[in-house]
Structure 1
Amino acid sequence: MSQPTRGSGSPGRAPLTLTVAVTTYRRPRDLEELLPSLVDHLREVGDHFRVPVCGGIVVVDNDPERSAQDVVTAVAARHLGTTGVGLRYEAEPEPGIAAARNRALVSAEDSRVLVFIDDDERPEPGWLVRLLETWESSRAAAVAGPVLPHYLRQPHPWVLAGDFYVTRRLRTGADISVAGAGNLLLDLAAVRRRGVRFDDAVGLAGGEDSLFTTRLTRAGAPMVWCAEARVVERVPPERTTLPWVLRRTWSDGNVESRTALRLAPGAGGRLVQRLHGVTRGSVRVTAGLLRAVLGAALLSRRHQARGTRTLLRGAGMVAGALGLTHQHYARPASSPGPRVRIGRVREKGTP
């Protein structure tokens, strides 16, 4: 393996400026497990490529009560002196995942590479090295990797039958046009040239990462897949219930339509996208309903689950095209966690 060139053809011994960002909201125990692992991955990068690694880890806390601060301080005290890996704490009280991710972009302004990982994820061995190798070889502006589920409790049978947590399988180096931010490397020089940021207008509803990566690729920045850079998502029991998974399926379809609307040029383009979203969503609703009915007749759990999944995703697409959304990250000041709201969102350029 050659030395990392940081996408610029610079000498292999030049320092690699790298920030790993963790966005978090009231999950201190997850952070206690994740952060030492990230320290090890950063040390592995320096050993593997034999270059100095400048930067470190930044934790962006979206809790106005700063529930992650003590954890970050404690982990930094244990590891900073012995490893040399920096660990910083940033508070972002503005509700919404988009605000937290934008704070990470600002915090990493001195880095060439920013890597996002979520607080409920655990990287597998070689994760960060593999992301960087793919970035080096592809010269891409972004590299995404798979997020694999680890169920903390056996899911509802429909969740398994319907493949609700199955992720896409692509070869390393394959071009992609959209990705989540739970396992995402960004070449910040390429991102800055295109002026792309996470959209605060969708920060409470989610889908900010789909919108961000789509805008990035449409601006001419290539994004590729790295099959070997795997992280495991710890799926808590409440997210393996049938009601939660079905709501999430609706939300995924909703995000798809809302993303298309926000990317559409002008009022005419948005009207076309609304009609397109309603049409495509309605087709999915019909096809999903037929498959679910067939599954019931054949006593096939898989056909019932997959049909229901298609139906609900289509319903979410229709709702998104009409301006309705789940406010997944909305929360009242007195609540211990986020709640779901149904409401209308204004698309870019609409009154």
Structure 2
Amino acid sequence: MPASSRIQISILIASIGRATLARTVATVHASARQLGLPFEIVIADDSGEDRVAGILRSKGLLHPEVVIVASGTRNISVARNLTVEHARGETLAFVDDDEWVGPDWLHALVRALNASGADAVFGPVTAHYPEGANRFIVWGDPFTKSPGPTGEPVRYASTANCLVRRRVFFDLGLRFDPALGRSGGEDADLFRRLQKMGGTLASAPEARIDEEIALARCRPRDLWRRSLRKGQTFARREMSPGLWSRMRFFVGSLLRAMLTLAASIALLSLRRQNGMRMLVKSWVNVGKMREPLRLPLNAYY
């Protein structure tokens, strides 16, 4: 689809029809209106039951700027790609349907993109845990994401909070990999491919977003599976082909898993948060060991 001379920013949301979507749309709409540039909000309804329109209609949020496209594949990559195909903006902002933003969020992203000249900029996400969440997970706070300070390499590239130039998708031809659409990691994979093509990433530390973490995600087993997936998708991106390369990668990941596990045990009695974060890192390293063994990716969505 050719870029529109009218629309400057497309805000893209892939949704499975969670009730939290209403707050997401209300806050991003308010932030975009405050910025003052022509915008649209493109939502891929991946519920398979046309939930999105009903949720927004019930809250009076079917604004003229809102565009809903049907997906229904329960594949997050397919849903995200669908929003990209329908986007008319010169820049594309991504958020999730369980997040909410402040009035200055979009302005901060645009400001960082213009100042850095990067192809994509990323803002921090602060996780909010529900009552009854496992206390070890709350201590470790694994769902809070920080891309790092301005001017330093981006530590965490995620579609949970980012602004991307249109050229990334329509000149370079990048899309989210459907093979990762049920396991996750599709966003990190896309931005890693962008970097390998010479693209640049930057931080937007002032573009803060808040995320509501569902109670179902606060179980140790769920975090274990997510960590394994994260490690395995990393290995899939970074591991060189060939038997010896796979063996070296496996051994290196095994050693890192043992070291981070030992560090987590030592830290848990001193600094609970650091200990839990180190424990999660050990799980991620275990996940890295799965790829050299050619084990299947765990489905998450």
Rg larger for: 1
- Correspondence 1:121 to 2:102: no
- Correspondence 1:308 to 2:279: yes
Change (3 A) 1:219 1:303: closer
- Correspondence 1:210 to 2:194: no
The answer (yes or no) to whether the contact 2:122–2:147 under 8 Å persists in 1 is no
Q: What does residue 143 of structure 1 align with?
A: 121
1:233-284 residue CA offsets vs partner (Å, 9 max, x unmatched):
10122222322223322222122112225xx5xxxx3546533431232012
The DSSP-based 3-state class of the residue aligned with 1:111 is coil
Which residue of the other structure, out of 10, 13, 20, is the alignment partner of 1:19?
10
Q: What does residue 55 of structure 2 align with?
A: 71
Q: What does residue 179 of structure 2 align with?
A: 201
Structure 2 matches for 1:255-334, cutoff 5 A? 255-261=233-239, 269=241, 271=243, 274-294=246-266, 301=272, 305-324=276-295, 325-329=297-301
The answer (yes or no) to whether the contact 1:175–1:222 under 8 Å persists in 2 is no
Change (3 A) 1:133 1:276: farther
Deviation at 1:16, TM superposition (A): 5.6
- Correspondence 1:43 to 2:33: yes
Structure 2 matches for 1:55-66, cutoff 5 A? 55-66=39-50
1:77-123 residue CA offsets vs partner (Å, 9 max, x unmatched):
6563xxxx511101112231100110011010x22111000000111
Deviation at 1:190, TM superposition (A): 3.7
The answer (yes or no) to whether the contact 2:256–2:282 under 8 Å persists in 1 is yes
Change (3 A) 1:206 1:270: farther
Q: 2: distance between equivalents of 1:118 and 1:303? A: 27
Change (3 A) 1:181 1:271: farther
Deviation at 1:189, TM superposition (A): 2.0
Q: 1: distance between equivalents of 2:158 and 2:35? A: 23
Q: What does residue 90 of structure 1 align with?
A: 69
Q: 2: distance between equivalents of 1:281 and 1:225? A: 28
Structure 2 matches for 1:151-230, cutoff 5 A? 151-153=129-131, 155-168=133-146, 170-176=148-154, 179-230=157-208
Identity between Structure 1 and Structure 2 (%): 25
Structure 2 unaligned segments of length 5 or more: list them. Answer: none
The answer (yes or no) to whether the contact 2:149–2:203 under 8 Å persists in 1 is yes
Change (3 A) 1:202 1:299: same
Deviation at 1:167, TM superposition (A): 2.9
AA aligned opposite 1:280: G
Q: Which moved more, 1:85-94 or 1:95-104?
A: 85-94
The answer (yes or no) to whether the contact 2:147–2:203 under 8 Å persists in 1 is no
The answer (yes or no) to whether the contact 1:210–1:259 under 8 Å persists in 2 is no
Q: What does residue 30 of structure 1 align with?
A: 20
Change (3 A) 1:283 1:78: closer
Q: 1: distance between equivalents of 2:244 and 2:156? A: 21
1:126-150 residue CA offsets vs partner (Å, 9 max, x unmatched):
1100000111112211111111111
RMSD: 2.5
Change (3 A) 1:54 1:74: farther
The DSSP-based 3-state class of the residue aligned with 2:42 is strand
- TM-score normalised per structure 1: 0.76
Q: 2: distance between equivalents of 1:299 and 1:143? A: 35
AA aligned opposite 2:100: R
The answer (yes or no) to whether the contact 1:123–1:231 under 8 Å persists in 2 is yes
Change (3 A) 1:127 1:285: same
AA aligned opposite 1:100: A
Q: What does residue 337 of structure 1 align with?
A: none
